[in-house]
Structures are given as C-alpha cells and as structure tokens.
Amino acid sequence: VAERLRQYAAMAGADPVKTEACAATPATAERIARSQELGKSVGVTGTPTLFLNGRRVGNPTASQYEALKGVVSFEAEQAGK
C-alpha cells in the first residue's frame, strides 16, 4: 500500500516521502474517518459523488457536461433569487 501511495504521489507531482509521512499520522486518519462518516450520513455510496446546494446529482462521471452545466446554472439562478 505504501509503495502505491508513493507512486500516486509522484504521478501527481507531490513529494512521495512527505505524502507517506502525512498519511501515517493519527491526524490524517482522524480526518479520513470524519470524512467517511459525513459521506455515510448523506448517502454517499461511492466516488465521485457530486452535491449541488445540498442535493445529490447522480453520477457525475456518467453525466454529460452540458447536463451538469445546466444543473449548475439553474442552482446559481435559484441561489441569486
């Protein structure tokens, strides 16, 4: 697992040593646990999951760009009223 983390960090342009050290801290484990609990509490069952103004928007990878753009525009208009 640690080797894969280092590989992904390097591919993303991050420092693999710093990334591994951060991942090993209790604070990071706590942040991950809180994030997982939040996801469960709002019904997230996988990633990616997209919410707009508190509403879940299907699977964003399966949604077409124009459809997502329309939803975002609608939400922005509603928020401005």
Token couple for 34 = 């809180």
Q: Which amino acid is at 16?
A: P
**Residues of the chain with pLDDT > 70: what percent?**
93
What angle do the packed helices 16-23 and 2-11 form, to 10 degrees? 130
The 10s digit of each residue's pLDDT in 43-81 is: 898 888 888 888 887 777 766 788 888 888 998 898 887
Q: Which residue has the higher pLDDT, 14 or 55?
A: 14
Compute CA 62 distance to the chain's CA centroid, rounded to the nearest angstrom: 16
Looking at per-residue pLDDT, the higher value among 66 and 37 belongs to 37
